[in-house]
């Protein structure tokens, strides 16, 4: 950290596991599926448990899975998991519930998809170091495919310039006061204008739209995939 001599900033990770995993089409929700002998979310939690800069972890899960989450955190001795809270019907609501539980003494929060079990220790550390400098940063990788925008009839309308396109991953890390202020602004905007909430797909969007803070893209990792569809499980197993 740049601030030697000062108190170490408090980093809290919010790990999200409150989705339904509809695109995985599995009986067990994807975050609780076993991947080489360990549930996916446990693998994600262990990465934060083992990182020396992370102070504590908030686990966000569905109401029906609160007991399961608690028993897993005991079984795998996840000492940093200090809170297990219920999520919401949209990702950003799950994020907010987790962020509230982090507590007022938090300096920085790292939001992470529980469905990204391959996040590396180096990437978590990189996020922690960069957020102290820039106040808002997200892991991202250059897109490999050519991306086109299509018109409403399904015809290619535009080919976007690949060199400026990045696929955003998690962790996404923010100054805690900045993040909570952006959310307060978001809720005011939702009350006033009732926008389409399904368009809020990541946390950085909220900070970009609801504060003056610029969000820095930092190098992510192509291995840090989000388990979304069944073939992603095969890819993750191969990486492990
Ligand atoms: N998530 C959450 N609360 C929600 C929606 C998503 O905590 N209301 C979490 C998921 O559990 C996952 C992460 O956010 O770890 C990324 O979301 P995504 O991959 O879209 O997962 P799901 O929404 O569960 O899957 P799907 O969109 O296929 O239904
Ligand atoms: Mg989803």
Q: How would DSSP label each residue in 15-79? A: EEE----GGG--SS-GGGSEETTEEHHHHHHHHHHT-TT--EEEEEE-GGGHHHHHHHHHHTT-T
Mean pLDDT of 47-63: 98
- Using a pLDDT cut of 70, give the percent of the chain over it: 98
Task: Find out whether the beta carbon of 117 lies less than 6 Å from any atom of ligand 1.
Answer: no
pLDDT tens digit sequence for 109-167: 999 999 999 999 999 999 999 999 999 999 999 999 999 999 999 999 999 999 999 99
Q: How far is the CA of 129 from the centre of ligand 1 (A)?
A: 27
Task: Find out whether the beta carbon of 87 lies less than 6 Å from any atom of ligand 1.
Answer: yes
Q: How far is the CA of 207 from the centre of ligand 2 (A)?
A: 20
Q: What pLDDT, on the 0 to 100 scale, is given for residue 4?
A: 59
Q: How far is the CA of 2 from the centre of ligand 1 (A)?
A: 34
Q: Considering every ligand atom, which ligand is closest to the CA of 232?
A: 1
Q: Considering every ligand atom, which ligand is closest to the CA of 19?
A: 1
Q: What are 229's two structure tokens? A: 């569809």
Q: How far is the CA of 183 from the centre of ligand 1 (A)?
A: 19
Looking at residue 198, what DSSP letter applies? G
Q: What pLDDT, on the 0 to 100 scale, is given for residue 2?
A: 56
Q: Which of 57, 91, 93, 233 to mutate to test the pocket of ligand 1 (most atoms within 8 A of CB)?
A: 91
CB 76 within 8 A of CB 50: no
Q: What pLDDT, on the 0 to 100 scale, is given for residue 3?
A: 55
Hunting for tokens 């539980």 — which residue is that?
101
Q: C-alpha dihedral over 112, 116, 121, 126, to 10 degrees?
A: -50
Per-chain mean pLDDT for the chain: 95
Q: Considering every ligand atom, which ligand is closest to the CA of 229?
A: 1
Q: Which of 19, 62, 84, 86 to mutate to test the pocket of ligand 1 (most atoms within 8 A of CB)?
A: 19
Mean pLDDT of 77-104: 97
Q: What pLDDT, on the 0 to 100 scale, is given for residue 62?
A: 98
pLDDT-derived band of residue 70, with 50, 70 and 90 as boundaries? Answer: very high
Q: Which of 112-121, 185-194, 219-228 has the lowest mean pLDDT?
A: 185-194
Q: Where are the alpha helices (DSSP H) in the chain?
A: 40-49, 66-75, 91-102, 121-134, 176-193, 203-210, 230-239
Q: How far is the CA of 228 from the centre of ligand 1 (A)?
A: 9
Q: How far is the CA of 59 from the centre of ligand 2 (A)?
A: 17
CB 14 within 8 A of CB 110: yes
Q: What pLDDT, on the 0 to 100 scale, is given for residue 202?
A: 83
pLDDT tens digit sequence for 112-121: 999 999 999 9
Task: Give whole-number Cα distances, 61 to 25, 82, 97, 185, 204, in Å.
Answer: 19, 14, 10, 25, 21
Q: Which of 61-75, 79-93, 150-164, 198-212 has the lowest mean pLDDT?
A: 198-212
Q: What pLDDT, on the 0 to 100 scale, is given for residue 198?
A: 82
């Amino acid at each position: 950290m740049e601030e030697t001599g000062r108190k170490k900033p408090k980093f809290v990770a919010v790990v999200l596991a409150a989705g339904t995993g509809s695109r995985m089409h599995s009986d067990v929700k994807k975050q609780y599926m076993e991947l080489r002998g360990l549930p996916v979310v446990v693998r994600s939690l262990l990465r934060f448990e083992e990182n020396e800069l992370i102070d504590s972890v908030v686990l966000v899960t569905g109401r029906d899975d609160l007991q399961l989450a608690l028993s897993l955190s005991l079984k795998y001795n996840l000492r940093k998991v200090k809170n297990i809270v219920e999520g919401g019907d949209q990702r950003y609501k799950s994020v907010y519930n987790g962020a509230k539980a982090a507590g007022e003494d938090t300096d920085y929060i790292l939001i992470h998809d529980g469905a990204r079990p391959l996040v590396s220790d180096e990437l978590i550390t990189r996020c922690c170091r960069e957020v102290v400098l820039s106040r808002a940063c997200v892991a991202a990788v250059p897109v490999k495919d050519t991306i086109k925008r299509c018109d409403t009839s399904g015809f290619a309308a535009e080919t976007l310039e690949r060199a400026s396109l990045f696929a955003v991953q998690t962790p996404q890390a923010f100054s805690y006061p900045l993040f909570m202020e952006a959310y307060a602004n978001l809720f005011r905007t939702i009350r006033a204008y009732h926008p389409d909430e399904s368009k809020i797909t990541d946390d950085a969007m909220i900070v970009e739209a609801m504060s003056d803070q610029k969000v820095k893209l930092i190098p992510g990792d192509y291995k840090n995939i989000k388990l979304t569809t069944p073939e992603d499980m095969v890819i993750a197993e191969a990486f492990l």
